[in-house]
């Protein structure tokens, strides 16, 4: 997740639903400032303590609902750091996903170039990604999914932890063009032939 975030040294990193600050603190030495938001006050105090014992002075944490804190806090941070400040975000919400006001605040922040979304519920992840990536009349530079990985943190269950990178459409790398349909059909036929040959060899083996 941290290697995907790759913030600019002058960037502001938002750590939404930060818990005790583990992820944001790990990237603090690669950016200008980390701002963490967390609902549980005790977790915020732990995040501040973790920053202090690790000598990290460019991280601050706020207790409260992200949907109430972020919309008012983000403009203040941008005014302080300047209009040319890049913004990156890490979000690690609970199973219901992100509140619609958080999604709106993230999408409407023109300086926000990259989001690393960590999810324990792929269903709510899909719903939030649709809201971040859909085209609207007011915003013609939506986010696009760039890469994703599933992490099996719950062995012997159907649950996985998902990590997804989203970037602004205008900044995302252009995918290579698909081969012509004739080549796709030819490649598919070869794969089927290879699979059939392998199956015949297995059946013929003593």
Average pLDDT, 10 consecutive residues per value, the chain (206 residues): 84 96 94 96 97 96 96 93 90 95 93 94 93 77 92 87 93 72 62 65 59
Q: Identify the CA nearest to 93 among candidates 115, 113, 109, 60.
A: 115
Which candidate in 45, 60, 68, 161 is catalytic?
161
- As a whole number of angstroms, the distance between CA 82 and CA 96 comes to 33
Predicted pLDDT at 196? 62
Predicted pLDDT at 173? 74
Read off the pLDDT of residues 20-30 as tens digits, 9 standing for 90 and up. 999 999 999 99
DSSP 8-state assignment for residue 83: T
Q: Is 161 a catalytic residue?
A: yes
Which candidate in 67, 77, 120, 127 is catalytic?
120
Predicted pLDDT at 155? 87
Predicted pLDDT at 199? 62
């Amino acid at each position: 997740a941290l290697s995907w975030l790759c913030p600019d040294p002058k960037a502001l990193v938002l750590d939404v639903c930060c818990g005790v600050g583990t992820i944001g603190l790990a990237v603090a030495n690669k950016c200008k400032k980390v701002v963490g938001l967390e609902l549980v006050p005790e977790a915020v105090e732990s995040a501040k303590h973790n920053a202090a014992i690790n000598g990290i002075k460019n991280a601050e944490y706020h207790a409260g609902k992200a949907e109430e804190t972020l919309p008012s806090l983000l403009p203040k941070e941008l005014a302080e750091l300047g209009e040319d400040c890049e913004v990156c975000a890490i979000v690690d919400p609970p199973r219901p996903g992100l509140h619609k006001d958080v999604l709106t605040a993230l999408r409407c922040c023109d300086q926000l170039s990259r989001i690393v979304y960590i999810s324990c519920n792929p269903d709510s992840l899909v719903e939030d990604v649709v809201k971040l990536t859909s085209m609207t009349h007011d915003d013609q530079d939506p986010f696009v999914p760039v890469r994703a990985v599933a992490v099996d943190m719950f062995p012997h269950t159907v649950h996985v932890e998902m990590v997804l990178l989203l970037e602004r459409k205008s900044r995302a790398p252009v995918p290579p063009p698909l081969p012509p349909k004739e080549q796709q059909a030819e490649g598919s036929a070869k794969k089927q032939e290879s699979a059939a040959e392998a199956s015949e060899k297995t059946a013929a083996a003593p």
